[in-house]
Homo-oligomer: A and B are copies of this chain.
Amino acid sequence: MKLSEIYLYLKQDISKIEKEIENSIDAQHPVLIQASSHLLKAGGKRIRPVFVLLGAQFGQYDLERVKLVAVPLEMIHMGSLVHDDVIDDAELRRGRKTIKAKWDNRVAMYTGDYMFAKAIEIASQSQEPRLHEILSDAMVEMCIGEVEQIKDQFNADQNLKIYLRRIKRKTALLISVSCELGALIAGADRHIQKCLKRYGYYTGMAFQITDDILDFVGTEKELGKPAGSDLLQGNVTLPALYAMERDAELKNEITHFLESHGTDKVDMNGIISKIKETGAVKDAKIMSDLYLEKANAALEELPDIRAKRALSEIAQYIGDRKF
């Protein structure tokens, strides 16, 4: 089963989920639509709803119930994207903020808040108490992850453990929860829920590592931003971490740049070449592949239905994706 086939067979339900998200923002306030419309229209892969829908197919699939999980999860993801943008935007304007710009930022912040609150509100239509526990726990962890990322920004003194913990909170957890809650809301067996939760966690880790690799190996056209952007913004990801362990001179160069808080001029293309030379990118890919193997192993105990093959295909796609 190809990825395009997966989307094809989920297409109708994904469209309904998107419509629900649109409506729940639309109904309330024009300013909110304005502030979030670029996100809605940008589309995105809707990967979290896809995981929810697939997870739900291991139980009694009923879209009316499934959407009470799929919509909130996508809205939480969207809310976190809105908040990620808030302060960055301000900086782009180089500190000379007009009142309008200040408003935009405030509106963006409250739009994010609104999406979080609305997500919980929609989830509360389900009478499943564990849903809120799992959902809010994921949100708490995501916030801690964000705070950690800020704290670790431009910090050269990091290690693998810190990195893995950060991407777990930042990315893997919400994907894990998507898979788990899909199964939960459809009343699937507890053991199935657990397998899907594990699958989602491993897949999410591989997804983020791949993202972090692509930031170094992608072209500006593929990425929509210059290669090495993560490092330029002070985020030390796996390829950089590995490379710094292996090349003392390169470590010095990167550390120097980080300690300047990004104010030093830096030859990013040179640094990227040197990172590749250390074999760090390849080793990051090996790490990602290890997580994908674990993801596939987590699928083994699941019944052999179409959704299982789809999940396996998604893992494969994540390992191979080029942008």
Contacts of A105 in B (CB 8 A): 87, 90
* A117 and B90 contacting across the interface, CB-CB below 8 Å: no
Size category, A interface: 35 or more
* A102 and B110 contacting across the interface, CB-CB below 8 Å: no
The residue that A91 contacts in the complex, of B102, B110, B120, B139, with Cβ under 8 A, is: B102
A101-144: contact bitstring with B at CB < 8 Å (1 yes, 0 no)? Answer: 01101110111111011101101110101001101110110111
A76-112: contact bitstring with B at CB < 8 Å (1 yes, 0 no)? Answer: 0000000100110011000111010011011101111
Stretch of A26-34, A39-47, A265-273 lying at the B interface: A26-34
Number of this chain's copies in the assembly equals 2
* B127 and A143 contacting across the interface, CB-CB below 8 Å: no
Distance A100 CA – B302 CA, assembled complex (angstroms) = 49
* B97 and A83 contacting across the interface, CB-CB below 8 Å: no
* B118 and A150 contacting across the interface, CB-CB below 8 Å: no
Shortest CB distance A105–B (Å): 5
Residue A286 at the B interface, CB < 8 A? Answer: no
By a beta-carbon cutoff of 8 Å, the part of chain A in contact with chain B is 28-29, 31-32, 83, 86-87, 90-91, 95-97, 99, 102-103, 105-107, 109-114, 116-118, 120-121, 123-125, 127, 129, 132-133, 135-137, 139-140, 142-144, 146-148, 150-151, 153-154, 261-262
Q: A86-B106, A110-B143, A117-B139 are in contact. List 7 more A-B contacts (CB 8 A).
A: A31-B148, A83-B109, A91-B102, A113-B116, A114-B144, A116-B116, A120-B136
